Structure 1
Amino acid sequence: MGSMTELGYGWLTPILSYLMAVLGSGLGLRCMVRAVGSTGRAKRNWLITGASAIGSGIWTMHFVAMLGFTVTGTEIRYNVPLTVLSLLGAMVCVGLGAFAVGYGKHRYRSLLLGGTTTGLGVAAMHYIGMLALNLHGRIGYSPAAVALSVVIAIAASTAALWAGLNISGPIAAAGASLVMGLAVSSMHYTGMDAVSVQVQPADTPLHGATLMQFIFPLAVGLGSYLFLTSAFVALSPTAQQRAANASAEGLRHLPAVPQ
């Protein structure tokens, strides 16, 4: 049995991965709030932006956390196509969940459908990412821990979508982002607790890329995307602000009332 650790770099990777989860969740929630107050093309664009933010955030969280994953007796490589698939799958599933909530006619039914779809997407991202691992040995999973991680993912996703529909204040939104980040991180580490590795030493070279060769640069790129998008969302006026500006502009052009 290979000995494993999630803390190969101490607490650095858990903290950094948590921050990425919070950033992605917070940005996604802000986009959901903007989508609720928008119509037409603007609504669609905000939902797409929110889905890409949450999908990027949870993917980056997962692979930053994987920097601390080591197995004694074997090096680890990652299958590049499967790794990219895990990212695209996360974005698509989160997008389906966001659109189900954004356009659903029955509020709570749409929330349940959207939360379930998004949660399954989060879990699929995690386990496709784990499937991308190449090492000298066999990876096994505890069914109970896997099931618990999926339940956590669905519960966290449903809570995030609910927050996107019901929370608009900056302080409340920040609190929801912290909780969502904690829930996503909990899902990851619960899923990792389900893993066991039976090492089979071999001299044959492993196929795939190391984290530093491919995944870490991609994670840095996605992290930069999240920061830039956060700045764009923060600087974009809300629907209420646009309405207030339009009203003020209209009042400014009214003819003066004779004295």
Structure 2
Amino acid sequence: MGHLDHAALGWLTPALSYVMACTGAALGLRCTVRALGATGRSRRNWLVTAASAIGTSIWTMHFVAMLGFSVSGTDIRYDVPLTVLSLLVAMAVVCGGVFAVGYSKDRTRALFLGGLTTGVGVASMHYLGMAAVRLNGDITYDPTLVGLSVLIAVAAATAALWAALNIKSPVAVAIASLIMGAAVSSMHYTGMFAVRVDVVPAGGVLPGATAMQFIFPLAVGLGSYLFLTSAFVALSPAKAERDATAPAPRTVGRAAG
């Protein structure tokens, strides 16, 4: 059995992946708060932004953490189409969960279904990402830890959607984001601790791309998207701020009339 190292680059990858998870959660929560205060096309746009932020951050968190994953006795490569598919799955399922909550009349039912769908989707993204791993050996999983990781994913997703519905103040959003980041990271590492690798030495070059060739540039690109979107959301006025500034011209207009 190969020795597995989940932090081959030290604390850099766990810390950076946690920051990514927290940033995406914070951005997603802020966008959902904006969406619930909006209507029509504006609501839909805020919900899409929320879903893309959460989906990309969860995927980026997973693969930044994977940069620190190594197995003694074998190189590691990633199947490019499967890795991209795992990103699309993350985006799609989070979008479904966020829209269920954003448009549903029955909030409790939406929370349950949205949390379940999103949690299972996040777990699917994780294990699709793991299916994209190519190495000289056989990968097996501890079923108990796999089950636990799926439960953590569902609980984390439900908590995130609940927070999006019930938390409004920036301080509360920040605290919820830190908790969400910890939950998503816990799900990832629980899933990783379920992994067992039996190394089978083999000649020839492994198929797929190395983490630095493919994962790293994509993670940097998505990370940049997250931070730029965060800046845009932070600088764009909230509904309450627009309402606070809107009455002034009307008052002047009535005085003039």
Equivalent residue, structure 2, for 1:200: 200
CA distance in 1, matches of 2:31, 2:113: 19
CA distance in 2, matches of 1:45, 1:120: 24
Q: Which amino acid aligns with 1:222?
A: L
Q: Counterparts of 1:180-195 in structure 2 under 5 Å?
A: 180-195=180-195
Question: CA offset at residue 32 of structure 1?
Answer: 0.6
- Report the secondary structure of 1:254's partner residue: helix
Is 1:244 the counterpart of 2:244? The answer is yes
TM-score, normalised via structure 1 length: 0.97
- Report the secondary structure of 1:21's partner residue: helix
- Report the secondary structure of 2:191's partner residue: helix
CA distance in 1, matches of 2:61, 2:21: 5
Residue by residue, what CA displacement relative to the aligned partner does 1:14-58 show, whole Å, maximum 9, x if unpaired?
Answer: 001000000011100100100110100000000000000001101
The answer to which of 246-255 and 130-139 deviates more is: 246-255
Q: Which amino acid aligns with 1:95?
A: C
CA distance in 1, matches of 2:181, 2:251: 44
Q: Which amino acid aligns with 1:236?
A: S
Aligned residues: 257
- Report the secondary structure of 2:202's partner residue: coil
- Report the secondary structure of 2:64's partner residue: helix
Equivalent residue, structure 1, for 2:97: 97
Q: Counterparts of 1:1-259 in structure 2 under 5 Å?
A: 1-256=1-256
Q: Which amino acid aligns with 1:142?
A: D
CA distance in 2, matches of 1:174, 1:225: 19
4+ runs deviating over 4 angstroms? none
CA distance in 2, matches of 1:189, 1:21: 13
Task: For structure 1, list consecutive stretches of 5 or more residues without a partner in the other structure.
Answer: none
CA distance in 1, matches of 2:51, 2:241: 24
- Report the secondary structure of 1:208's partner residue: coil
TM-score, normalised via structure 2 length: 0.98
CA distance in 2, matches of 1:148, 1:102: 28
RMSD over aligned Cα atoms:
1.0
Q: Which amino acid aligns with 2:217?
A: P
Residue by residue, what CA displacement relative to the aligned partner does 1:49-91 show, whole Å, maximum 9, x if unpaired?
Answer: 0000001101110011011110111100000000000001000
- Report the secondary structure of 1:68's partner residue: coil
Task: For structure 2, list consecutive stretches of 5 or more residues without a partner in the other structure.
Answer: none
CA distance in 2, matches of 1:255, 1:159: 49
CA distance in 2, matches of 1:249, 1:79: 58
Question: CA offset at residue 92 of structure 1?
Answer: 0.4
Q: Which amino acid aligns with 2:30?
A: R
